[in-house]
Amino acid sequence: MHKNEYDAIVIGSGPNGLAAAIAMQQQGLAVLLIEGRNEIGGGLRSKELTLPGFMHDICSTIHPMAVTSPFFSQLPLEQFGLSYLYPAVDAAHPFDGGTAAALYPSLERTAQLLGADSHTYTNLFKPLLKDFKGLTEDILGPLQFPKHPLTLAKFGLKALPSAMHLAKRFKTKEARGLFGGVAAHAIQPLTNIATAAIGLVLTLNSHAGGWPTPRGGANALATALGNYFVSLGGEIVTGTYVNALKELPPSRAVLLDVTPRQLLKITGDRFSSFYKWQLQRYRYGMGVFKVDWALDGPTPFTAAACREAGTIHLGNTIEEIAANEQRTADGHHPDQPYTLFVQTSVFDNTRAPKGKHTAWAYCHVPNGSTKDMTAAIENQVERFAPGFKDLIIGRHVMNTTDMETYNPNYIGGDINGGILDITQLYTRPAMRWSPYTTPAKGIYVCSSSTPPGGGIHGMCGYHAAKKALKDVFGIRIK
């Protein structure tokens, strides 16, 4: 650490830590960003996990919310080497028997291929898509008076029910399955209140901006954000884990891109007993078990749409997905788990040697589970892509312990920074007028454990920085 004093220090360089550091540095402050690992990025890192020449994203790969994020989208990241690549099909959802539903960037094309549910799909999504920019500004932030109240009200009426309830609007298994597969990104039972919101937001992101990946790897987004921050005068220190605030040089504000468990460890006795009690009661959700593969060829999905898709949701009908997600939430390990499969090499030829391919998949597991789900995941892929197993030439697996070791924010393998259900939607990590503040003056939380929660959008960091700028420095930003 090169200076004796900083205006602000940000601990953790995930998307939210980077967003917070940039937002503070844009105001001309002296900002230090500290990262425990030797490279920045958090969930935005890439590595040759299986074989030389096969580039895998360790966590996040597909970034629909990054391109529509009110903060990230206005940064000149293309000047720092970032470019996005887009699949022909954003997401596909295969069924037993060889058919599949598909989520295309075009709302009209997606609706047209849903047959009897074409009009229902259009009537559900088109009005929201028309007001998507304003809607995004309101839902990707803390609970406050909305800038676009009518738009938010229209969304809320559709988003508040469970995904299973909203899916009753559709008649066909194709439309129901397609929506259910997207909604299952919520990492909680599809019968939970407000899980419809996840399905709506991610589907709208497809039609508004697509489901792209950074060319060359997810780390390209982190690198561009980091280089932009440095170009503004910011400073980055890597390979330095912060165990206590007393280890830091003096500063007027500290923003922590960590979840409640690490926050309690780092801050020690700086908080009131009531705030600490709330943090201790914070709930983490299901974990993930992930497999990366080096493949001898493209995954041979039976359905053509799946062969063109960047993301494939494997789980058959919405009823099967819902039943298995509920079993997982109840502490079990289904034989046919909902499996999220990603194949970036289909539309990014930098990810694998010529003629070869990469892919990864994860399923949800009980928090902290160490059960090996490799066979269950590969059986799910084989179910919809016969011959897949014969193409595997390299494999790398991560259970929930591996996930947490890689990134301490992934408590028990929870990649969302805490369950994002209705009781923690706006009260994460604690009940306060501003969720980014703490009882200790100058200390703020900027992780996905604050609203709006998980996702590569940076808005948790942006809103935390906005609050710190106002409180500590008297600077107001929009």
Residue at a domain's end among 364, 381, 406: 406
216 φψ region: left (φ > 0), alpha (ψ -120 to 50), beta (else): left
Q: Edge-to-edge, what's the strand order for the sheet holding 89-94?
A: 100-103, 89-94, 309-314, 339-342, 357-365, 287-295, 392-398
Q: Do 302 and 427 fall into the same domain?
A: no
Q: Do 275 and 249 fall into the same domain?
A: yes
Residue with tokens 């995930």: 14
Band of pLDDT at residue 216, cut at 50, 70 and 90? very high
Q: Do 274 and 307 fall into the same domain?
A: no
Range of the domain at 161: 86-211+286-406
Task: Evaluate whether 448 touches 455 at the Cβ level (below 8 Å).
Answer: yes
Q: Quick: pLDDT tens for 402-446.
A: 999 999 999 999 999 999 998 898 889 999 999 999 999 999 999
Task: Evaluate whether 62 touches 212 at the Cβ level (below 8 Å).
Answer: yes
Residue 422 is part of a domain; what is its CATH number?
3.50.50.60
Number of domains in the chain: 2
* Residue-wise burial string across 445-471, b where 16 or more C-beta atoms lie within 10 A, e elsewhere: bbbbbbbbbbbbbbbbbbbbbbbbbeb
State whether residue 103 is helix, strand or coil. strand
Q: Do 186 and 250 fall into the same domain?
A: no
Element (H, E) at 224: helix 219-231
In a domain, 273, yes or no: yes
β-bridge pairing 89-94 and 309-314: parallel
pLDDT at 347: 97
Q: Quick: pLDDT tens for 145-198.
A: 778 788 888 899 999 999 999 999 999 999 999 999 999 999 999 999 999 999
**Rounded-to-10 torsion of CA 42, 46, 48, 53:** -170
In a domain, 478, yes or no: no
| Burial class of 39 by CB neighbour count within 10 A (0 to 12, 13 to 18, 19+) | middle
Q: Do 98 and 163 fall into the same domain?
A: yes
Q: Quick: pLDDT tens for 303-359.
A: 999 999 999 999 999 999 999 999 999 999 999 999 999 999 999 999 999 999 999
In a domain, 42, yes or no: yes
Q: Quick: pLDDT tens for 61-100.
A: 999 999 999 999 999 999 999 999 999 999 999 999 999 9
CA-closest candidate to residue 119, choices 170, 67, 188: 170
State whether residue 445 is helix, strand or coil. strand
Fill in the amino acid letter for 333: H
What is the pTM (predicted TM-score) of this model?
0.96
Q: Do 201 and 102 fall into the same domain?
A: yes
Residue 356 is part of a domain; what is its CATH number?
3.90.660
